[in-house]
Amino acid sequence: MASDLLLFLLYALIVGGLAWPLGVYMARVFSGERALLAPVAGPLERGILGALGPAALRDQHWTRYALSVLAFNLGGWLFLYAVLRLQHLLPWNPQGLPPMSADLAFNTAVSFVTNTNWQAYGGETALSYFSQMVGLTVQNFLSAATGMAVAVAVIRGFAPTKSQTLGNFWVDATRAVLYVLLPLSILAALVLVWQGVPQTLQAYVHATTLEGSDQLIGMGPAASQIAIKQLGTNGGGFFNVNSAHPFENPTVLSNMVQLVYILLIPAAFCFLFGRMVRDMRQGVAIFAAMGLLFVAGLAVVYGAELRGNPLLDALPIDQAAGNMEGKEARFGVGLSALWATATTAASNGSVNAMHDSFTPLGSLPLLLNMQVGEVIFGGVGAGFYGMLLFVVLTVFLAGLMVGRTPEYLGKKIQAKEVKLAVIAFLSMPVGVLVFGALAATVPSALTAVQDPGPHGLSEILYAYSSATGNNGSAFAGYGAAAPFHTTLQGIAMMLGRYAFIVPMLAIAGSLAGKASAPASTGTFPTHGPLFVVLLMTVVLIMGGLTFFPALALGPLAEHVSMAAGQSFGGISP
**Contacts of 208 by beta carbon, 8 Å cutoff, 6+ apart:** 214, 215
pLDDT tens track for 485-518: 999 999 999 999 999 999 999 999 999 999 887 8
- The region of weakest confidence among 115-124, 471-480, 553-562 is 471-480
Q: What is the pLDDT of residue 235?
A: 87
pTM score of the predicted model? 0.94
Using CB atoms within 10 Å of the CB of residue 119, give its burial: 0 to 12 exposed, 13 to 18 middle, 19+ buried: buried
CB atoms < 10 A from the CB of 440, how many?
A: 16
Residue pLDDT, tens place only, 207-263? 888 888 888 888 999 999 999 999 999 988 889 889 999 999 999 999 999 999 999
Radius of gyration of the chain, Cα coordinates, nearest whole angstrom: 23
Confidence at 84, pLDDT banded by 50, 70, 90:
very high
For residue 195, which amino acid is it? Q
1 — pLDDT class (breaks 50, 70, 90) = confident
pLDDT of amino acid 383: 92
Q: What is the 3-state secondary structure (H, E, C) of 461-476?
A: HHHHHHHHCCCCCCCC
Using the predicted structure, report yes or no on whether residue 312 has a pLDDT greater than 80. no
- CA–CA separation, 56 and 342 (whole Å): 38
pLDDT score recorded for residue 352: 93
Task: Count Cβ neighbours within 10 Å for each residue of 45-69 and write b for 16 or more, e otherwise.
Answer: beebbeeeeeeeeeebbbebbbebb
Contacts of 136 by beta carbon, 8 Å cutoff, 6+ apart: 80, 112, 127, 225, 236
The more confident residue out of 573 and 156 is 156
**Residues 6+ positions from 441 with CB-CB distance below 8 Å:** none
CB-facing half-sphere around the CA of 506: CA atoms within 13 A: 16
Give tens-digit pLDDT for 162-194.
889 999 999 999 999 999 999 999 999 999 999
Is the pLDDT assigned to residue 573 strictly greater than 50? no
pLDDT of residue 569: 59
Between strands 411-412 and 205-208, the pairing is: unpaired
- CA distances to 92, 145, 171, 173, 384 from 179, in Å: 29, 11, 12, 10, 19
For residue 87, the model assigns a pLDDT of: 95
Task: Please provide the DSSP assignment of 163-188 as one string.
Answer: -S----HHHHHHHIIIIIIHHHHHHH
The mean per-residue pLDDT over the stretch 467-489 comes to 87
Is the pLDDT confidence value at 405 over 80?
no
Report pLDDT for 177: 97
**CA separation for the pair 543, 365 (Å, rounded):** 11
pLDDT tens digits along 359-382: 999 999 999 999 998 899 999 999
Q: What is the mean pLDDT of the chain?
A: 91
Q: What is the mean pLDDT of residues 94-113?
A: 94
In the structure, what pLDDT confidence band is assigned to residue 2 with cuts at 50, 70 and 90? confident
Q: Residues 6 or more apart from 216 whose CB is under 8 A from it?
A: 204, 205, 206, 207
- Secondary structure letter of residue 430 according to DSSP: I
pLDDT at 120 over 50: yes
pLDDT at 281 over 70: yes
pLDDT tens by residue, 191-207: 999 999 999 998 899 88
Q: Which residues pair with 215 in a beta bridge?
A: 207
Taking the alpha carbons of 307, 312, 315, 317 in that order, is the dihedral positive or negative?
Answer: negative
**Element housing 197 (H / E):** none
Instruction: Inform me whether the pLDDT recorded for 388 exceeds 50.
Output: yes
Write down the pLDDT at residue 572.
37
